[in-house]
């Protein structure tokens, strides 16, 4: 499954490239990483409970599935504007 995800994200990154700025993406990753670390340090039990709930409910799996439904329409738009 990891190979499929890697392939999907490679294709997706090509489609969304015109809508992203590399410096912004890097700054966002740093910001969110810092935020998660701070949450774990300051609110360890509630953060752990939240993350466990995310895992138990398969939230990220469902989110990924829902997002994948958007990529076909994005691909059609990208094809029209010749990205």
Question: What confidence score (pLDDT) does residue 41 get?
Answer: 97
User: What secondary structure letter does DSSP report for 14?
Assistant: H
Range 51-56 average pLDDT: 96
Q: What is the pLDDT of residues 10-53, one digit of tens each?
A: 877 777 777 777 677 788 889 999 999 999 999 999 999 999 99
Range 59-73 average pLDDT: 81
Query: pTM to 2 decimals?
Result: 0.58
Instruction: State the Cα–Cα distance between residues 79 and 25, nearest whole angstrom.
Output: 24
Instruction: State the Cα–Cα distance between residues 5 and 14, nearest whole angstrom.
Output: 14
Could you identify the residue written with the tokens 């990208």? 78
**Is the pLDDT score of 78 beyond 80?**
no
């Amino acid at each position: 499954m990891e190979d499929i995800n890697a392939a999907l994200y490679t294709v997706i990154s090509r489609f969304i490239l015109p809508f992203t700025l590399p410096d912004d993406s890097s700054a966002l990753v740093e910001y969110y990483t810092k935020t998660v670390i701070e949450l774990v340090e300051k609110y360890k039990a509630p953060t752990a409970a939240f993350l466990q709930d995310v895992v138990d409910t398969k939230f990220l799996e469902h989110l990924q599935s829902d997002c994948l439904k958007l990529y076909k329409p994005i691909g059609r738009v990208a094809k029209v504007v010749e990205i």
